[in-house]
């Protein structure tokens, strides 16, 4: 299959958008991406969304958004893989162009979480867990991560403070991202005294739910030079799959799907860990950041939190992490999150990030979007076009 | 891209399955399809489903079903396009194998409509309409089709009885399909006296919602000879897209997405209408059957109901229609429907249908799955392998 490139990006700020519904946000992101690429149409539209049916009584988003964005398409469909929905849509858009099925495609992730009638986003998010064997017992997604965090602290004799560096780093970067939800720095004392949500998870361990939409335009790499923006090549986009239920895993602290997905992506791209200039990680909870870094091979099991310092994950560190604030501080509009990560990595590789968070001479980025308790994981390797 | 073939099929009866949940039905269909193909694993799983999140509090079906079916996969994701979700999943499975991304894929459609907590399937189905401009006004899906039927009868001076032949034909065929929900014949008098649901739609104009799951195994066509069952080649699988809202269309009686999808599919397959030996149509409502036949070019606009007689659409007619009972009598488990249609067409092309409904010497089938008010339409052309 041919290589593909990202030639346009668009996003709306991650906020509580009381003035915009699903379609308005998604269309803004799509049209911004098309304007950025300077194209008038694309052949196919792939939508990443988790909860439009549940919270907004709206399914069939592919056709809806193709209409509202004024697109003439030969495909317009929705993909869902819980919080991994954004990357799932991105992956199908990549495949559609790579295979030659179409000459251009848009992937958009969109989620509207703050406006709903008689259902709760917390219950909606719990649909990513096993409905019969986890959610039916009252286990919310925060509770699942609390179990993981407690287990981690017990198993590896890890102190709660060890996680703080991830959170501080994310907020530090988000200050410079105009699209981020939380743009204030936080300090260790604030983390230590933050309100408990589900012991041991506190408010600052958790990413905020929010509304948002982000989109990209994808074309064959050989055509990328015709576009105004510096092209970013998709060198790999690979999936790993695991059980929904934590209880079915041999060791819940080892995220098998993260390992599978990372190894496949690195093999496809022909690179290893040291080739990566920045990592947009799925930091929905600070324990998830830690587990994912370990399963992806950036740290030994039990030692993930040792990375949580500026020399390692800061913008000028060895492995800049969550460079636009990550899920933690940019915000986590679930089905849109995977697309925000891609848009941010592309911005870094174009060298168009705000100065304070631009990773110097960024050439290659890894993006990891996680659905459920790492039951569906997509790892993408993006590279600045050498040409 | 290379051609692909269907080498395994599986289905559960369409019923109110009080003893099985989503995952049990889907896994039965998947394992039946794998047994039929005599394979132990497949590389990718694509799930078609519309309402699992809404009615069963379960998202993330790709990873869930891959786990419960015991699959080792490099992709497992859900697709949604309202009642066209089944075909949407099928299409991605076809693309995954055709492109060379994987060597084998399973597409499964599954829907559980009869068991739910505090939400209604009718509201769920209305999420396929425009939530802000149709459903919010109280317009259900039956009501939308009632508006279409009334308009059709007015515009073309068509009598209600003219639609009866489609319904009688579907029930007549379903008698011989052990997986069908309604296996009794009906007569014109019953149709004429059936209870009104939404004037002018009566009970027998409407397909029943139900539980169900159906699946296929897809491999490259060049490998199809290694399998026990007669291979069926996918000659085309093409999409058409239109607005969700009827009010945004120039003429609501002309289903533009059906026309687009049919023309693209016939062009890709290099065939025309007379080359088709049977048609599995999306007969969710008798007016939808009529409109789709016209938009697909099998009848002039306003003359679709002239096809509704045994000499035309009966098993021995010119264009056998709904040969296993269609949505009307086999039943309409929405996200699974598109996969039932494929499974039934494959059974015909293998010449494995029950004698009474086997289309004689069936070589080529057209399958059309419609999402929403024909806002997302997939037309598939299947052909018995000549080898």
Low-confidence ranges of chain B (pLDDT < 50): none
Closest CA to A106 of A387, A377, A342, A367: A342
Nearest to A63 among B98, B127, B242 (CB): B242
**Domain covering A4-119+210-226 in this structure, CATH number:** 3.40.47.10
Which of these is catalytic: A83, A176, A237, A282?
Answer: A83
Quote the minimal CA–CA distance from A289 to chain B in Å: 21
Measured between CB atoms, does A223 come within 8 Å of chain B? no
Q: For position B119, what pLDDT does the model report?
A: 83
Which of B192, B66, B76, B201 shows the shortest CA–CA distance to B144?
B201
Asked if A51's CB is within 8 angstroms of B60's CB, the reply is: no
pLDDT score of A387 more than 90? no
Beta bridge partner(s), residue A198: A201
- In angstroms, rounded to a whole number, what is the distance separating the alpha carbons of residues A356 and A185? 14
For residue B387, what are the contacts with CB-CB under 8 A and spacing of at least 6?
B225, B231
Query: Tell me: the pLDDT tens digits for A202-235?
Result: 999 999 999 999 999 999 999 999 999 999 999 9
DSSP annotation of A49: -
Domain range A127-207+236-384, its CATH number among 3.90.580.10, 3.40.47.10, 3.40.50.300, 1.10.287.130: 3.40.47.10
Residues A85/A373, Cβ–Cβ less than 8 Å: no
| Residue A116: per-residue pLDDT | 78
DSSP class of B253: T
Distance between CA atoms of B354 and B229, rounded to whole angstroms? 16
Q: What are phi and psi of B134, to 5 degrees?
A: -125, -65
Q: Of B224, B378, B340, B207, which is closest to residue B286 (Cα–Cα)?
A: B207
Nearest alpha-carbon partner for A21 in A57, A70, A48: A57
Give me the residues of B, 348-387, that contact A with CB < 8 A: 371-372, 375-376
Q: What is the DSSP string of B83-124?
A: BTHHHHHHHHHHHHHHTTS-S-EEEEEEE--S--SSS-HHHH
Please determine, for residue A95, whether its predicted confidence score (pLDDT) is greater than 80: yes
Find tokens 């923006």 and name the residue. A229
Which pTM does this prediction carry?
A: 0.98
Query: Which positions in chain A touch B243 (Cβ < 8 Å)?
Result: 63, 67
Q: Is the pLDDT of residue A119 over 90?
A: no
Beta bridge partners of A6: A218, A232
Closest CA to B341 of B216, B167, B210, B208: B216
Which residues in chain A have Cβ-Cβ distances shorter than 8 Å to B21?
132
| pLDDT tens figures, A48-79 | 999 999 999 999 999 999 999 999 999 999 99
Q: Is the pLDDT of residue A182 over 70?
A: yes
- Asked if A77's CB is within 8 angstroms of B88's CB, the reply is yes
Residue range B4-119+207-382 forms a domain whose CATH class is: alpha beta
Instruction: Write out chain A residues lying below 8 Å of B67, CB-based.
Output: 241-244, 248, 375
**pLDDT on residue A118:** 77
What residues of B are annotated to the active site?
83, 332
Q: Which residues 254-293 on chain B approach chain A with CB closer than 8 angstroms?
A: 257, 264
pLDDT at B293: 98
A332 flagged as catalytic: yes
For chain A, say whether B234 makes contact (Cβ under 8 Å).
no
A306 secondary structure, DSSP code? G
Euclidean distance between the first and final Cα of chain A, in Å? Answer: 20
CB-based contact B158:B152 (threshold 8 Å): yes
Q: Which of A105, A78, A14 is nearest to A341 (CA)?
A: A14
Residue A386 has what pLDDT? Answer: 79
Q: Which of A2, A63, A138 to mutate to test the interface with B (most CBs of B within 10 A)?
A: A63
Q: What digits encode the pLDDT tens for the residues A132-148?
A: 999 988 899 999 999 99
Residue-level pLDDT at B42: 98
A299 three-state secondary structure? coil
Rg (CA), chain B: 19
Q: Give B235 to chain A, closest Cα distance, Å.
A: 14
Instruction: With CA atoms as reference, report the closest residue to A5 among A29, A39, A49.
Output: A39
Closest chain B C-alpha to A292 CA, distance in angstroms: 18
Q: Where are the domains of chain B?
A: 4-119+207-382
């Amino acid at each position: 299959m041919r290589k593909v490139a990202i030639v346009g990006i668009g996003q709306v700020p991650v906020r509580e958008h009381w003035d915009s519904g699903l379609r308005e946000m998604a269309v803004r992101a799509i049209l911004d991406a098309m304007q950025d690429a300077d194209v008038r149409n694309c052949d196919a539209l792939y939508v990443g969304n988790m909860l439009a049916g549940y919270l907004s009584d709206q399914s069939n988003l592919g056709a809806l958004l193709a209409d509202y964005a004024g697109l003439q398409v030969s495909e317009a469909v929705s993909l869902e893989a819980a919080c991994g929905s954004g990357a799932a849509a991105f992956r199908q858009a990549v495949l559609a162009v790579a295979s030659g099925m179409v000459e251009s495609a848009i992937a958009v992730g969109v989620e509207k979480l703050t406006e709903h009638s008689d259902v709760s986003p917390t219950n909606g998010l719990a649909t990513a867990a096993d409905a019969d064997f986890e959610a039916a017992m009252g286990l919310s997604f925060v509770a699942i991560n609390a179990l993981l965090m407690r287990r981690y602290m017990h198993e590896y004799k890890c102190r709660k403070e060890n996680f703080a560096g991830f959170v501080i780093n994310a907020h530090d970067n988000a200050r410079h991202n105009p699209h981020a939800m939380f743009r204030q720095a936080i300090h260790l004392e604030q983390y230590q005294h933050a309100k408990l949500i589900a012991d041991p998870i506190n408010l600052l361990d958790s990413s905020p739910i929010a509304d948002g939409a982000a989109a990209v335009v994808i074309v064959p790499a050989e055509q990328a030079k015709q576009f105004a923006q510096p092209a970013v090549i998709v060198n790999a986009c690979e999936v790993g799959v695991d059980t929904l239920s934590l209880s079915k895993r041999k060791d819940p602290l080892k995220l098998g799907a993260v390992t599978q997905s990372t190894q496949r992506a690195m093999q496809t791209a022909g690179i290893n860990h040291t080739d990566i200039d920045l990592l947009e990680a799925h930091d929905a909870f600070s324990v998830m950041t830690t587990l994912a870094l370990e399963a992806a091979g950036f740290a030994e099991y039990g030692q993930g939190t040792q990375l949580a310092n500026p020399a390692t994950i800061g913008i000028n560190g060895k492995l800049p992490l969550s460079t636009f604030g990550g899920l933690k501080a940019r915000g986590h509009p679930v089905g849109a999150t995977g697309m925000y990560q891609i848009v941010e990595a592309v911005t870094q590789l174009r060298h168009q990030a705000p100065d304070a968070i631009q990773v110097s001479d960024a050439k290659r980025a890894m993006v990891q979007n996680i659905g459920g308790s790492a039951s569906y994981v997509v790892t993408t390797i993006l590279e600045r076009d050498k040409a």
